[in-house]
Structure 1
Amino acid sequence: MAKKKSDEKSPAENPRVHKDLNGFDIKINSFGEIQMSFEIDKINSFLNNTVDDKKLRNRKKDSEK
């Protein structure tokens, strides 16, 4: 008899997300298409405002010169 893993998440349990992305849900349908509850533009603007991009750090310094 196989053991049941206790680490498995129940399907009803929602992951923790940032308060600005509350209600965000992403699924892949049977055709392999990604379905999201938010528009990609809203997600991109959130990432631009909150995530520091290491590759773009030097561009700010170069543009000031």
Structure 2
Amino acid sequence: MIRSIKSRYHFKRTEAKPKVNRELEGFDIKINSSGEIESSYTVDQLNEFLNKNVFDKKLKNTNE
């Protein structure tokens, strides 16, 4: 009988945390049972971070 790959190679699922920017340490986002998004940061805090760190292609030709 053929064993599954998981049992054959002894793979174990680990709860690894993704690498994040230092400014976003502690950021957590979840969707609750009613479909609402719950976040540890406010929308304004996220927008401020994105404005600072992400280049917007649409604004390439405009001068600020």
In structure 1, the residue matched to 2:40 is 37
- Residues 1:59 and 2:53 aligned together: no
More helix by share: 1
SS in 1 for 2:30: strand
- Residues 1:50 and 2:53 aligned together: yes
Measured against aligned partners, the alpha-carbon deviations of 1:15-34 in whole angstroms (never above 9, x if no partner) come to 22100010000000000000
Which stretches in structure 2 are left out of the alignment for 5+ residues? Answer: none
Q: Provide runs of 4+ in structure 1 moved above 6 Å.
A: none
Give the aligned length: 58
In structure 1, the residue matched to 2:19 is 16
Normalised TM-score (structure 2): 0.73
